[in-house]
A and B are shown apart, each in its own frame.
Chain A
Amino acid sequence: MNLIGITDCNNFYVSCIRSFNPKLIGQPVIVLSNNDGCVIARSNEAKAVGVKMGQPVFQMDKLISDYNIQVFSSNYEHFGDMSRRVFDSMGRFLENVHVYSIDEAFFEASGYEAIHPDLEEFARMLINTVGQWTRIPISIGIGETMTLAKVANKYCKKHPELGGVFIMDTPEKRNEILSDFPIGDLWGVGYRYQALLKRNGIKTALDLSKMPHDWIKQFMTVEGLRLVYELQGIQCRSLDTEPLHKKSICCAPSFGTKVWSLETIREALATYVARAGEKLRRHSSAAGVVTVFLHTNRFDKVGPHYSNSQTVILPHPTSSTMELLQYADTVLESIYRKGYEYQKVGVILNDIVSESHQQELIFNETPDQRQAQLSKLVDKINGRYGRDKIRLAKQGFYEKNWRMHQRHLSPCYTTKWSDILLVK
């Protein structure tokens, strides 16, 4: 039997900060979204005193002071490096670690019997090693399919006495866990399907796994059918066929202050396009569709509101920042209206293909290779000398007043020399 495992970092953003500041262990800690808007990560202690996921921080003054909750801005530079360290550490012991998100990775759990005869012991060794190397607590769920691995992982998080490992490798165990597993917690079951299933009396994952296939296919498409197979222990999602390339890339942090002028919005958009372009090239891909959107703060009671977005299909997929910006900038110009207090501009890249794939299209007008090379060279230089050392003039050169608020930023312990740990 082929087993699949998933590693999930517990309260990952909080753990990253605690990794270098053990004083925070045992204390309620929260991490805020971009612009210090709302809660995106909570320590168990913060959950216990009633902090909700997604809660806006301005509603929490009393809670924060009553329980002395420690508040931090999100620091993706630090979180990203710690994520890399966690999964690279696991890669020392596992053949294939498929990073699924910043705090989750799948791996093949079969085939190690010769070196590690006891799978559970092996999983515990991984937890201890990652703990010692990065001080990030992880939990591991193992099952016959990716979906069941996720179920096992959720289960072991709910049961701390398991010590972070749960292996669901027999049909008996599977049926027992699924019979008590709420449908809404399943991977791929959104709010809409949850409502549909509940209306039809399907409450647990076990109920769902026993539904007739025709019914599932009719109401939940082939995706739903895959889910049912996976719950029965038949692999339908595979580590290799899960899309390697992101389907879309979005870069749209809110402004730190209200912004009126087209010039300022242009600067911000140019910077976001540069970020999105870097991301594209990091994954060796190119984008064929660019969307730009712009809006005022809908929740602001005063002032007129405006929001608009527009999409252009490029003549060919490209990864060049200059080319992307050329289109994005034109779109911005056409959707910008004078006289509004804007809160956000953003760019979304879609129709993402791998770079090698697009070169095979002989009959398409192909992008200028020199442009792609230039962008890659700029990435290399900036990788060495610091972000935006070389930039497009459109990105501007002066202190940005539209930059995000990050009032509670934790140090970049592993990515900035000025921020490294100080020892006495």
Chain B
Amino acid sequence: MIVLNDRIRIDDIRRIVPGIRLKIPLFSSYVAAGFPSPAENYIEKVCDLNDLCILNAEATYFVRVGSDSMSGDRIEAGDILVVDCSLEPVGGRIVVVWLNGDHVVKRIRFAGEMIVLESSNPKYLPIYVHPGEDFKVFGVVTRVIMKPV
């Protein structure tokens, strides 16, 4: 059995430098004593979570969710979002935006001149962004990191 004791506190892991990588071999096999693993020759690349989650490292930021307004999309308070600021905010995608003094996570829709920010929790009403409001798209959410309960 594998004991997963969580000895490194998450706060202690710091940068998103691609050089610091968690390497998980793509193939693994038991090594018979004295004989090299026959699979060894096939291990050419290791899976890297950074490759999977981060396409544009320079423009990617992590943000923490602070509300339950997107719970319909299984985004809960405390989850971490991977946000790519180089992507265009296409209608229908989940985005992080700056709106009237706060950063918020919402699904964005374009209705003519109007921008609509939808929550996926029925408790929250859609927000209509009017021209002239303090509004700016921060980036597009590309991954959600959550801890299963």
Cα distance, A415 to B96, chains bound together (Å): 19
Total residues of chain A contacting the partner, CB 8 A: 27
Find out whether the CB atom of A89 lies under 8 angstroms from the CB atom of B63: no
| Binary B-proximity of A381-424 (CB < 8 A = 1, otherwise 0) | 00111100000000000000000000000000111111011111
Residue in B14, B65, B96, B104 whose beta carbon sits within 8 Å of that of A417 in the complex: B14
Complex interface: chain B residues within 8 A of A413 (CB) = 61
**Which chain B residues border A415 with CB–CB below 8 Å?**
14-15
Say yes or no: A416-B11 contact (C-beta < 8 A), given A22-B98, A422-B64, A424-B69.
Answer: yes
Q: Is A85 part of the contact surface with B, judged by Cβ < 8 Å? A: yes
Residue B32 interfacial (CB < 8 Å): no
Q: Please tell me if the beta carbons of A423 and B104 are within 8 angstroms of each other in the complex.
A: yes
The answer to whether A423 and B64 touch (CB under 8 A), given A133-B85, A133-B86, A134-B59, is yes
In the complex, the chain A residue whose C-beta lies closest to that of B102 is A424
Which A residues are in CB contact (< 8 Å) with B20?
A: 383-384
Residue among A23, A85, A133, A420 with the highest chain B CB neighbour number at 10 A: A133
Expressed in whole angstroms, the Cα–Cα distance for A386 and B12 within the complex equals: 6
Residues of the B chain whose Cβ atoms lie less than 8 Å from the Cβ of A88? 57-58
Whether A424 contacts B67 by the Cβ 8 Å rule is: yes
* Interface residue SS majority, chain A: helix
- Identity of the chain B residue whose Cβ is nearest the Cβ of A88 in the assembled complex: B58
Is B148 an interface residue, CB under 8 A from the partner?
no
A421 to B65, CA, bound (A): 9
Let me know if B66 is at the binding interface, CB within 8 A: yes
B143 on interface, CB distance cutoff 8 Å: no
Q: Given A417-B10, A417-B11 in contact, is the A133-B65 Cβ separation under 8 Å?
A: no
Q: A85-B58, A423-B81, A424-B105 are in contact. Are A417 and B66 (CB under 8 A)?
A: no
When the two chains form their complex, are residues B63 and A420 in contact, meaning their CB atoms are under 8 A apart? yes
Contacts of B16 in A (CB 8 A): 414
A132 within 8 Å of B (CB atoms): yes
Known contacts being A132-B86, A415-B14, is A422 close to B58, with CB within 8 Å?
no
* CA distance in complex: A387, B27 (Å): 33
Q: Which residues of A contact B136 (CB under 8 A)?
A: 22
A23 and B105: CB pair below 8 A?
no
Nearest CB in chain A: distance from B57 CB, A: 7
- Give every chain A residue within 8 A of B102 (Cβ-Cβ): 423-424
A199 beta carbon closer than 8 Å to chain B: no
Verify if B131 is at the interface (C-beta below 8 Å from A): no
Q: How far is the CB of A257 from chain B (nearest CB, A)?
A: 27
Q: How far is the CA of A132 from the CA of B85 in the complex (A)?
A: 7
Q: Which residues of A contact B66 (CB under 8 A)?
A: 422-424
Q: Say yes or no for B80: interface residue by CB 8 A criterion.
A: yes
C-alpha spacing A413/B60, complex, angstroms:
12
Question: Known: A88-B58, A132-B85. Is A421-B14 also a contact (CB below 8 A)?
Answer: no
Min distance, Cβ B47 to any Cβ of chain A, angstroms:
18
- A394 to B79 CA separation, bound complex (whole angstroms): 40
In the complex, are the beta carbons of A92 and B14 less than 8 A apart?
no
B3 interface hit (Cβ, 8 Å): no
Q: Judge if A341 is at the interface, Cβ distance under 8 Å.
A: no
Tell whether A81 is near chain B: CB-to-CB under 8 Å: yes
The contact of A89 among B59, B101, B103, by CB within 8 Å, is B59
Chain B proximity of A382: nearest CB distance (Å): 10
- Is B1 an interface residue when CB atoms closer than 8 A count as contact? no
A89 to B98, CA, bound (A): 22
In the complex, which residues of chain B have a beta carbon less than 8 angstroms from the beta carbon of A129?
A: 86
B103 touching A424 by the CB < 8 A rule? yes
Inter-chain contacts of B59 with A (CB < 8 A) = 85, 89, 132-134
Q: Quick check: B63 and A133 within 8 Å, CB to CB? A: no
B13 part of interface (Cβ distance < 8 Å): yes
Pull 23 A–B residue pairs with CB atoms less than 8 Å apart, ordered by A.
A81-B15, A85-B58, A85-B59, A89-B58, A129-B86, A133-B58, A133-B85, A134-B58, A134-B85, A386-B12, A414-B61, A417-B11, A420-B63, A420-B80, A421-B61, A421-B63, A422-B63, A423-B66, A423-B81, A423-B96, A424-B69, A424-B103, A424-B105
A residues lining the B interface (CB < 8 Å): 22-23, 81, 85, 88-89, 92, 129, 132-135, 383-386, 413-418, 420-424
10 other A-B residue contacts (CB within 8 Å) besides A85-B58, A424-B66: A22-B134, A23-B101, A92-B58, A133-B86, A417-B13, A420-B62, A422-B64, A423-B64, A423-B65, A423-B66
